[in-house]
């Protein structure tokens, strides 16, 4: 999954990107590229149980783009989610903080670009009888985007023309409010306004300056800082959780002596589709999926043998709907 981090200069975008990618980045055509492991205690415990040669966590890939001097519309087309970073505190006396305006300024650019793409498509295809359906869909979309009424549940956003045009308005968003240390345990005044205006867009309050400090400390010192600020977990874990929730993602596992690996997939995926994520040949030769739910695996002392003895080992067909935490081994034949 690929997330693009967007934000004004000096708003915390660069700091968030650096923390997420732990400084392991590459530069390509003006974009910063990086990735982060998704923390998962289940992977940690299975690695202890299997002692594999390799342990692979689920990963999220990040792109950081600058909004200036030219808005990078083309760079955003491959994104699964936009992460808006908005500065939500006054650093100097006289600073004006208006998170709604900061968000809407960027959102307006997205909507204007999408309307331009739709109008261009209509002009090119309005006389083509084969494109009648697509032209009608584009015509329906324009007022929805103009009036900010396009909902994630609208069936039209799954149409082929929307996918082919790469509209920005249909990409899920998550907002990170970059707060100061004083606001960590207090609901900020802007939160109620945000919920009233954009309740469908999830957000996370993260003190990026504190997260940057945490990233430089060893585990013991991190714990002390958590205690000092009464923090249960890093704000970045909150962000990653929000990404999974908002995009309807879940994790399944493949395990063994060679590797314990976490795979990120959409919810409601079938065993056959999940097999294809592992390898196309496994999908082609799919016979059955051996499934053990992680909770059962843990209850049975991380033993596949005990899972089988206690009725917690299931053979499922290609239409089985995978559950979060399923441990899957595919029987296949090519």
Digit-coded pLDDT (tens) for 250-265: 999 999 999 999 999 9
What mean pLDDT is predicted for residues 156-166? 84
- The reply to whether 60 falls in a domain is no
- The reply to whether 187 falls in a domain is no
Taking the C-alpha atoms of residue 166 and residue 140, their distance in angstroms, rounded to an integer, is 16
Into how many domains does the chain fold?
Answer: 1
Q: Which residues, at least 6 apart from 261, have a Cβ–Cβ distance to it below 8 Å?
A: 54, 55, 56, 253, 254, 255
Q: Cis peptide before 69, with omega less than 30 degrees from 0?
A: yes
Would you say the C-alpha torsion 223, 227, 229, 235 has a positive or negative sign? positive
Contact 221, 244 (CB under 8 A): no
- Locate tokens 């249960």: which residue? 232
What mean pLDDT is predicted for residues 162-175? 88
- What CATH number corresponds to the domain at position 307? 3.10.20.30
Contact 289, 320 (CB under 8 A): yes
Lowest mean pLDDT among 88-92, 157-161, 265-269: 88-92
The more confidently predicted of residues 67 and 158 is 158
- The reply to whether 124 falls in a domain is no
Predicted local confidence at residue 68, as pLDDT: 67
pTM: 0.85
Domain of residue 300 covers 268-332
Q: Specify the length of the chain in residues.
A: 334
Q: Does residue 119 have a pLDDT over 90?
A: yes
Closest by CA position to 16, among listed 1, 27, 32, 30 = 32
């Amino acid at each position: 999954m690929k997330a693009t981090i967007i934000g004004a200069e000096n708003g915390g975008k660069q700091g968030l990107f650096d923390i997420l990618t732990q400084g392991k980045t590459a530069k390509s055509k003006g974009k910063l590229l990086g990735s982060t492991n998704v923390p998962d205690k289940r992977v940690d415990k299975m690695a202890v149980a299997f002692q594999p040669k390799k342990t692979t966590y689920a990963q999220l890939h990040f792109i950081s783009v600058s909004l200036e001097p030219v808005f990078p519309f083309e760079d955003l087309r491959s994104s699964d989610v936009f992460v808006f970073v908005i500065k939500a505190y006054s650093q100097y006396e006289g600073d004006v903080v208006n998170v709604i305006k900061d968000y809407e300024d960027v959102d307006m650019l997205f909507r204007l670009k999408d309307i331009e793409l739709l109008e261009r498509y209509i002009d090119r295809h309005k006389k083509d009888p084969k494109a009648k359906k697509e032209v009608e869909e584009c015509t329906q979309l324009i007022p929805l985007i103009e009036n900010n009424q396009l909902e994630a549940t609208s069936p039209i956003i799954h149409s082929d023309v929307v996918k082919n045009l790469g509209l920005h308005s249909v990409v899920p968003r998550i907002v990170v409010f970059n707060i100061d240390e004083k606001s960590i345990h207090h609901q900020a005044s802007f939160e109620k306004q945000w919920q009233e205006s954009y309740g469908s867009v999830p957000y996370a309050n993260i003190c990026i300056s504190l997260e940057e400090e945490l990233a430089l400390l060893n585990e013991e010192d991190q714990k002390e800082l958590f205690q000092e600020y009464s923090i249960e977990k890093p704000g970045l874990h909150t962000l990653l959780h929000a990404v999974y929730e908002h995009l309807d993602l879940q994790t399944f596992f493949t395990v063994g002596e060679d590797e314990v690996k976490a795979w990120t997939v959409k919810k409601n995926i079938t065993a056959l589709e999940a097999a294809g994520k592992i390898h196309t040949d496994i999908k082609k030769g799919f016979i059955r999926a051996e499934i053990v739910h992680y909770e059962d695996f843990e209850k049975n002392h991380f033993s596949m043998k005990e899972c089988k003895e206690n009725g917690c080992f299931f053979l499922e067909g290609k239409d089985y709907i995978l559950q979060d935490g399923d441990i899957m081994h595919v029987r296949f034949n090519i």
